[in-house]
Copies of this chain bind each other. A is one copy, B any other.
Amino acid sequence: MNREEKKRATRQKIIDCALELFAENGYEATTVHQITERAGVAKGTFFNYFENKEEVLCDLQLFIATEEISKLQYKQGPIIPLMRELLMEMLRHLPFNRSLILASFQCTLSNKKLLESATVKFEEFKQVLIPVIAAAQARGEISSVMPAEMIADLAVQNYQGALIYWGMGLGEDKLSNQVTLSFELFFKGLAP
C-alpha cells in the first residue's frame, strides 16, 4: 500500500467510524475524540483530513444518488419498470442498516448546510421526475387527474417516508421491500 492509498484508507476509516458513531449517539453527541479513538488515529490526524467536525458530514452518502437520477432523463420506455430500476439502483447506494439511515437523517436535520443540500437534492429529483411523469401521462400509462408536479412531489415524499420509517425500526425487514411495497401501492393509485 503506497502513500496515497494509505491516506485514502485513513480518511475512509475516519468517515466510517464517524458515521457509525453518529448512528449510535447522534451527530452532536459524538466527539472527535470518540471518532479518532475508534479509527485508531490521533486526534490531530482528524484535522489533517477535515477542516472541522462538520466537514465529515459532507462525505456522508445521503439518501439520494444524484447521478443515478440524472441518468433517468435519457432513458426510454414505460415508467413503472423504469422507476423500479431507478429505485433499486438508488437503494444499492444506501447503507443496509437502520441506524445508519436514521443517523443520516439526524445529521441532515441538525445541520443547516446539509438540510439545505438535501432539500436541493430532493428538488432536483423532483425536477427530473416531472417530465418523465408527464410523458407517461401523455402516453396514458398513468392517471392524469393529478398534475405531474404533484405526483413527483408525492413520489419523492414516498421514497423519503419509506427510508425514515424503516430507519426507525418499523415496517419490513429489508429496506428494499419497504420501498418496493410503498411504490407498488403508489403506482396502483396512479393507474389510469
Contacts and interface: CB of A to CB of B under 8 A. Distances in A.
**How many of chain A's residues touch chain B, expressed as a range?**
35 or more
A154 B185 contact: yes
B150 A157 contact: no
A85 interface: no
Contacts of A171: 153, 157
Contacts of A168: 115, 118-119, 122
A88 interface: no
A119 B170 contact: yes
Contacts of A126: 170
A123 interface: yes
A78 interface: no
A28 interface: yes
A162 B150 CA distance: 13
A146 B185 contact: yes
A29 B188 CA distance: 43
Interface stretch (A4-12, A102-110, A130-138): A102-110
